[in-house]
Amino acid sequence: MEVEHRKTGGTLLNVLITGGAGYIGGTVAGVMMSAGQRVHICDNLCHARRSAVPEGADFIEGDISDRRAMEQLLRDRKIEAVLHFAALIEAGESMQHPEKYFSNNTASTLSLLQAMLAAGVNRLVFSSTAAVYGEPDSTPITEDAALRPTNPYGESKLLVEQMLVWLHRIHGMRYASLRYFNVAGAVAGRGEEHEPESHLIPLILDVALGRRNSVRIYGSDYPTPDGTCVRDYIHVRDLAEAHILALHALEQQSRMIYNLGNGRGFSVRQVVESARRVTGHLIPVEEAPRRPGDPAILVASSDKIARELGWRPAYPGLDEIVASAWEWHRRRYA
């Protein structure tokens, strides 16, 4: 599956992408560079490799928790806007080690924000999460839904959103907070990989490739049609386009909060069935108890960003998302 780039318009800025060696940050960087954007990437490589940095990007190995170093970087590169992806993202791990998530995701982001203020950089696109909602009262979830995280990961992101409200109010920081759901799929040369792997679609595809014997389903007694968790899956290229639209929209708007998703939910069992169709493999499953902190259903309403910025997912089908990931994974291990 070849995914095309869509023109998003707007003025080219001198941008810094934190976490730009990772899956999502690296995809956004690559899309921006293909449109002629000059991109600077800062990553501490704790969950990424130097080889994953898009070719042609200005790479700085560093940590956003180092406020003075970040301030110097912002000044030296004459950065005009920051797209902030650097974070720990495992909800399950956050239930075991919450202190890691508040340190890395919240405190380190505060250091970055302080560096931005000191360097006079006042545009931020923040990679938030649907985990800020917790167990929603209704679905699909809208941006004005109650914010009740059920795990420290979601709480660590919500604390950043709360800081941004005040930095906007007091210092005039312009920001877009993008709350997204399950990002998946692949683009040419880049797909989803974690060490150790914990995300559903790569785990399933590992079974199809013979790298694992089965995939584990955590919980089959949720209040959902088939008893397994329901999630909203969004193609990583669609997500990248939304970030670029939000960045350009900061020229006219000073504060934005958007959900990013398909507006459709798929259960764990449905994802497994999709992978069976796409790969032609049986993909055995193993049932396990629920994981603490996992909401039963998370499905987004993206009507607001569609209405205000004209964004809509170009690759909403679950099979096409899985197919793009499958193509990349097969090449990865060829």
Catalytic positions, please?
153
Give the separation between CA 19 and CA 60, rounded to whole angstroms: 11
Residue type, 167: L
Query: Two tokens at 85?
Result: 């992806």
Q: Tokens 């909203």, residue?
A: 232
Whole-Å CA distances, 245 to 135, 242, 252: 29, 5, 12
- Tally the residues of the chain: 334
Q: Of 220, 126, 238, 224, nearest to 173 (Cα)? A: 126
Residue 297 forms beta bridges with which residues?
Answer: 230
> Which amino acid type is present at position 319?
D
Which string of DSSP letters, residue by residue, matches 269-291?
HHHHHHHHHHH-----EEEEPPP
